[in-house]
Amino acid sequence: MEFGIFSTGTVGPKPWDESEPRVLRADVTSGIVADEAGFDTFWAPEHHGLEVYSHSSASHLTCLAVGIQTKRIRLIPGIMNLCPAINHPVSRSR
């Protein structure tokens, strides 16, 4: 059996001037602690334009931030949802 941790990126409602950097740093810290605790995987979501949860448009960078500070945990850039209702390429880019 394997155990993993999923980074949530739950920043809550706007404004994100304090919550966004705090939550994104906490997600990286959780990956580091998971490695120290013997977890097998760290998953990072990627959604463009979500405003409350999975608030990350660069899962590979979250994985990189965890990877340079860990020894054995497997890093997985998780979900990139192309569903227009969630990640519409025009309406979300404004």
Structure tokens belonging to residue 2: 């394997």
Say which residue the tokens 């608030």 belong to.
55
- How far apart (Å, rounded) are the C-alpha atoms in residues 72 and 54? 24
Full-prediction pTM beyond 0.75?
A: yes
What does each C-alpha distance from 77 to 62, 69, 90, 93 come to in angstroms? 8, 16, 24, 22
Select the more confidently predicted residue: 34 or 12.
Answer: 34
Name the DSSP letter for residue 69: T
Evaluate whether 12 touches 24 at the Cβ level (below 8 Å). Answer: no
pLDDT greater than 50 at residue 93: no
pLDDT of 56 = 78
pLDDT at 80: 61
**pLDDT at residue 94 in the model:** 44
pLDDT digits (tens, 9 = 90+) for 20-76: 888 889 999 999 999 999 999 999 987 766 777 777 778 889 999 999 999 999 999
Distance separating alpha carbons of residues 44 and 64, to the nearest angstrom: 10
